[in-house]
C-alpha cells in the first residue's frame, strides 16, 4: 500500500464510554463524546486515557457490539490495540504502547546485590549468605521479567473496565522454534509452499543477526537468506546453516565456501561460525515471558487466541501497515484485512510509585538527607496529573503536567514544554491521581519501512527492517 493509502486508513482514537452504573459500553468517536459532554448527558470519568460516563444510559438498555484486544509483547515495549472484528475485517479503535522498566529493575537489583556482597566481605562478623537456603517456586521469573507480565496484564484488566472486551489475541511466541529446529515441514508442505512460507525462518534470522548483513554489516538494505555452506557443496537448509546477506555479498559469495570467501577476515569468519551454531536459548528466553503472559491472560476468563510473530509480519505485509508495536498488536492472529487504525498512540511509561526509603545517603553510606514522612501536601502527591492556571507574573499561563510536591506548598510541574518551578498550590487543580505511569501521545507510524515486503511467491527474502 502507498503512503496515501495508509494515511487514508487512519482515524481518530476512540473515547471509552461507561454506562450510568459504571459498566463499559462500546467506544465512541471523539466528536460524539464532545456533544454528549456539551449537552450534559455525560461527565468525565478519567482524564488519561479519556473515559466518559453517561448519565441516562446503561448496559441493560444499550446494544453492545464489543471489542477485542491485540497484544504484541516485547522486551522494552508492548503494543496493545483495541479493535472491532467483523468476519476477519478489523477496525482499530485505540492504540497503547506500554514502556516497561525491566532494565531499571535489573540495575537496582544488581546494585543491591553488590552492596550486600560488599557488606559481607568487610572486616566484620561473618554473615552467611541467605540465598543458599532459598528455593524458587515452579514457574519463577526474574523480577524484571515478572514486571513485564504483571504490567501488561494490569493494562488488559484496565481495558476490560473501560470497554466491553470479548476476546484477547496475543503473540505467544516470537517465532515457531519447533519449525525452525525440525529441519522439515511439520504438516505436509504448509510452511514450505503455503502463504506463510519462510516467515518464521525469516523473522528469527532478522532477530538473530541484528537485521544486518553478516558479511559487511550493511543495514536498511534488502537482505537475502544465504547458506553459509552452499547447498551445491552439501550444505543443508537447517537454521544453523542460514544467515543474512545483502545482494552484493550474496552475489559475490555465490557458491564459494565461507572459509575461502572470508580467508582475509579470520575474525569475522570465526564470529559467523560461532553465531550460526548458537542454540535457540535466546528465543526461548524471550518466549518465556510470552508464555507466562498467556497463562496469566487465561486466568482472567477471557477467550485467548495465540499466534506467532511470523504470522503477524505476514499480516502486515498484506495490509501495507508500517512496523510498530501497536500495529503489530492490531495484526496478531488470523485476519482477512485491516480497514482502519488510530492516528495517534498513547505511550504509557511505567515509572513506579516512588520509593520506601526515607533517607538519602552519601557515598560512604551515612545519612545526609531525610525525606518527609507524609505522602501528600495540600491534597497533592508527587506524580499527580494537574492543571495550574497562574493569572499573573513571570509564570502566568496554563500549565498541564505532572506535579512534584514540596512541603512549602510551592510545587514543580513537568509539562510537555519543560519544568515550571514554584507554582503555588492555590493555582493547582487535580485532574488525575498518580497511578505509577507517565502518559504522552505520539502519532502513529504512517509509512512502511523500505524493503519490508517479501518478493512474489513467498521466496526466502528478508526485508531490511
Which carries the bigger pLDDT value, residue 382 or residue 131? 382
- Cβ(213)–Cβ(246) below 8 Å: yes
Name the grid cell of 439.
Answer: 502518559
- Which residue blocks in 256-308 are alpha helix, DSSP H? 258-261, 266-276, 281-299
pLDDT of 397 strictly over 50: yes
Q: pLDDT tens digits, residue range 251-276?
A: 999 889 899 999 899 999 998 888 88
Q: What is the pLDDT of residue 133?
A: 73
Residue-averaged pLDDT of the chain: 83
pLDDT recorded at residue 451: 33
- The 3-class SS string of the chain reads CCHHHHHHCEECCCEEEECCCCCEEEEECHHHHHHHHHCCCEEEEECCCCEEEECCCCHHHCCCCCEEEEEECCCCEEEEEEEEEECCEEEEEEEEEEECCHHHHHHHHHHHHHHHHHHHHCCCCCCCCHHHHCCCCCCCCCHHHHHHHHHHHHHHHHHHHHCCEEEEEEEEECCCHHHHHHCCCCCCCHHHHCCCCCHHHHHHHHHHCCCCCCCCCCCCCCEEEEECCCHHHCCCCCHHHEEEEEHHHHHHHCCCCHHHHCCCCHHHHHHHHHHHCCCCHHHHHHHHHHHHHHHHHHHCCCCEEEEEHHHHHHHHHHHCCCCCHHHHHHCCCCCCEEEEEECEEEEEEECCCCCCCCEEECCCCCEEEECCCCCEECCEECCCEEEEEECCCCCCEEEEEEEECCCCCEEEEEECCEEEEEEEHHHEEEEECCCCEEEEEEECCCCCCCCCCCCCCCCCEECCC
Ramachandran area for residue 54 (φ above 0: left; ψ -120 to 50: alpha; else beta): beta
Sign of the Cα torsion 185, 188, 192, 197 reads negative
What is the structure's pLDDT at 189?
36
When pLDDT is averaged across residues 403-418 and rounded to a whole number, the result is 91
Task: Tell whether the model's pLDDT for residue 370 goes beyond 90.
Answer: no
Backbone angles phi, psi at 380, to 5 degrees: -115, 150
Residue 128 or 282, more confident: 128
pLDDT band at 2 (very low <50, low <70, confident <90, very high): very low
Please name every residue paired with 128 in a beta bridge, in sequence order, or none if there are none: none
Looking only at the bridges linking them, the beta strands covering 380-381 and 385-390 are: unpaired
Task: Check pLDDT > 90 for residue 449.
Answer: no
User: Quick one: pLDDT at residue 137?
Assistant: 82
Query: Looking at residue 275, what is its pLDDT?
Result: 83
Residue 289 confidence (pLDDT) above 90: no
Q: What is the pLDDT of residue 196?
A: 46
What domains, with CATH codes, occur in the chain?
1-64 (no CATH), 68-97+156-348+447-465 (no CATH), 373-435 (2.30.30)
Q: Is the pLDDT of residue 291 over 50?
A: yes
- Percent of the chain exceeding pLDDT 90 equals 44
Rounded to an integer, the average pLDDT of 83-94 is 93
Identify the pLDDT of residue 99.
94
Find the helix or strand (DSSP H, E) in which 92 lies. Answer: strand 89-99
Distances, alpha carbon 261 to alpha carbons 110, 209, 237, 253, in Å? 43, 19, 20, 6
Task: List pLDDT tens digits, range 35-64.
Answer: 999 999 999 999 999 999 999 988 888 889
Three cell numbers written together for 204: 528469527
Phi then psi for residue 416, to 5 deg, are -70, -15
Predicted local distance difference test score (pLDDT) of residue 371: 83
pLDDT of residue 390: 94
Window from 7-16, 28-37, 323-332 with minimum mean pLDDT: 7-16
Q: pLDDT grade, residue 446 (50/70/90)?
A: low
Entry pTM = 0.74
pLDDT-derived band of residue 198, with 50, 70 and 90 as boundaries? low
Amino acid at each position: 500500500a502507498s503512503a496515501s493509502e495508509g494515511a487514508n486508513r487512519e482515524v481518530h482514537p476512540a473515547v471509552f464510554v461507561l454506562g450510568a452504573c459504571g459498566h463499559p459500553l462500546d467506544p465512541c468517536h471523539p466528536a460524539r463524546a464532545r456533544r454528549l459532554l456539551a449537552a450534559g448527558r455525560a461527565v468525565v470519568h478519567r482524564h488519561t486515557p479519556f473515559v466518559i460516563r453517561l448519565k441516562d444510559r446503561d448496559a441493560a438498555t444499550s446494544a453492545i457490539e464489543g471489542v477485542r484486544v491485540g497484544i504484541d509483547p516485547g522486551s522494552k515495549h508492548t503494543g496493545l490495540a483495541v479493535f472491532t472484528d467483523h468476519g476477519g475485517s478489523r477496525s482499530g479503535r485505540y492504540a497503547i504502547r506500554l514502556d516497561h522498566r525491566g532494565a531499571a529493575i535489573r540495575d537496582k537489583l544488581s546494585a543491591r546485590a553488590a552492596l550486600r556482597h560488599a557488606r559481607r566481605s568487610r572486616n566484620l562478623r561473618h554473615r552467611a549468605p541467605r540465598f543458599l537456603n532459598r528455593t524458587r517456586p515452579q514457574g519463577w521469573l526474574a523480577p524484571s521479567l515478572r514486571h513485564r507480565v504483571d504490567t501488561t496484564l494490569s493494562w488488559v484488566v484496565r481495558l476490560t473496565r473501560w470497554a466491553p472486551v470479548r476476546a484477547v489475541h496475543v503473540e505467544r511466541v516470537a517465532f515457531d522454534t519447533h519449525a525452525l529446529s525440525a529441519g522439515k515441514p511439520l504438516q505436509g508442505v504448509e510452511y514450505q509452499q503455503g502463504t506463510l512460507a519462510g516467515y518464521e525462518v525469516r523473522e528469527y534470522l532478522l532477530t538473530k543477526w541484528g537485521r544486518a548483513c553478516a558479511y559487511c554489516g550493511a543495514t536498511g538494505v534488502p537482505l537475502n537468506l544465504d547458506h553459509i555452506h552452499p547447498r551445491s557443496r552439501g550444505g543443508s537448509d537447517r537454521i544453523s546453516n542460514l544467515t543474512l546477506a545483502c545482494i552484493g555479498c550474496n552475489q559475490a559469495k555465490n557458491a564459494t565456501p565461507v572459509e575461502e570467501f572470508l580467508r582475509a577476515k579470520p575474525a569475522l569468519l570465526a564470529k559467523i561460525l560461532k553465531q550460526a551454531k548458537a542454540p535457540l536459548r535466546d528465543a526461548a528466553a524471550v518466549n518465556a515471558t510470552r508464555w507466562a503472559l498467556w497463562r496469566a491472560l487465561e486466568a482472567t476468563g477471557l477467550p485467548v487466541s495465540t499466534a506467532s510473530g511470523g504470522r503477524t509480519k505476514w499480516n502486515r505485509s498484506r495490509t501495507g501497515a508500517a512496523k510498530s508495536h501497536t500495529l503489530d498488536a492490531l495484526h496478531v492472529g488470523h485476519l482477512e484485512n485491516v480497514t482502519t487504525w488510530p492516528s495517534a498512540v498513547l505511550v504509557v511509561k511505567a515509572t513506579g510509585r516512588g520509593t520506601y526509603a526515607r533517607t538519602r545517603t552519601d557515598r560512604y553510606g551515612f545519612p545526609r538527607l531525610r525525606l518527609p514522612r507524609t505522602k501528600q501536601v495540600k491534597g497533592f502527591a508527587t506524580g499527580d496529573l494537574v492543571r495550574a492556571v497562574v493569572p499573573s507574573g513571570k509564570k502566568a499561563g496554563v500549565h498541564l503536567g505532572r506535579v512534584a510536591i514540596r512541603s512549602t506548598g510551592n510545587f514543580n510541574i513537568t509539562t510537555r514544554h519543560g519544568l515550571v518551578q514554584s507554582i503555588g498550590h492555590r493555582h493547582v487543580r487535580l485532574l488525575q491521581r498518580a497511578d505509577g505511569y507517565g502518559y504522552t501521545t505520539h502519532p502513529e507510524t504512517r509509512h512502511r519501512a523500505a524493503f519490508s515486503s517479501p518478493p512474489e511467491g513467498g521466496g526466502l527474502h528478508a526485508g531490511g527492517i
